[in-house]
Amino acid sequence: MAGNIKNINTADAEIADHLRSIFHIKPKPAPTKCNPFVVEFFGVLSLTDLREPERKLWYIYYCKQTDIERTLHQIHKKYGKKNMYEIFRKPVFSGPALRASVKKHFAELKWFTKGNLLEAPPKSHFNNERVCKTITDLHNIEQQRLYNYVMVKNQWYFKR
């Protein structure tokens, strides 16, 4: 009996695929690779260069919630734990997208952006509070963009 149910399900799937091709309906999407239960975080660390204390440096990172400790340990190992502290950490939809918008914003301000490191130009008026506020504003813009996208898709769905 169980074998017959399996055959019926595969036959139904073949018929559904055939009907989709006849009526030019998009095929069913494959399951997504991302796990909605694993949260991704974006963070910023304030970094002090002991050799040149007047330099203003920040390190940006993103990682899954399960990898935060490992990522921070690697960063602290590279730059020294005493030389940095965290000024920003928030859950995000896409860490690479927010990283790209942050780097683009600061590059337009003529900052030095190399890899994950942000460096303010000499005699800049930026401090940790202003950097944190700017990144919070960029995060809010990203959230608003996602919200608008979902709402447009939702309205389109109900108009169909």
Compute the average pLDDT of residues 67-72.
Answer: 94
Compute the average pLDDT of residues 11-20.
Answer: 72
Whole-structure pTM value? 0.72
Q: Residue 120: which domain range?
A: 40-152
Pick 7 or 89 by higher pLDDT: 89
In terms of domains, do 81 and 49 share one?
yes
In terms of domains, do 26 and 45 share one?
no
Q: Domain for residue 157, yes or no?
A: no
Q: Please give the structure tokens belonging to residue 13.
A: 């799937």
Q: Domain for residue 35, yes or no?
A: no
Domain count along the chain: 2
Share of the chain above pLDDT 70, in %: 84
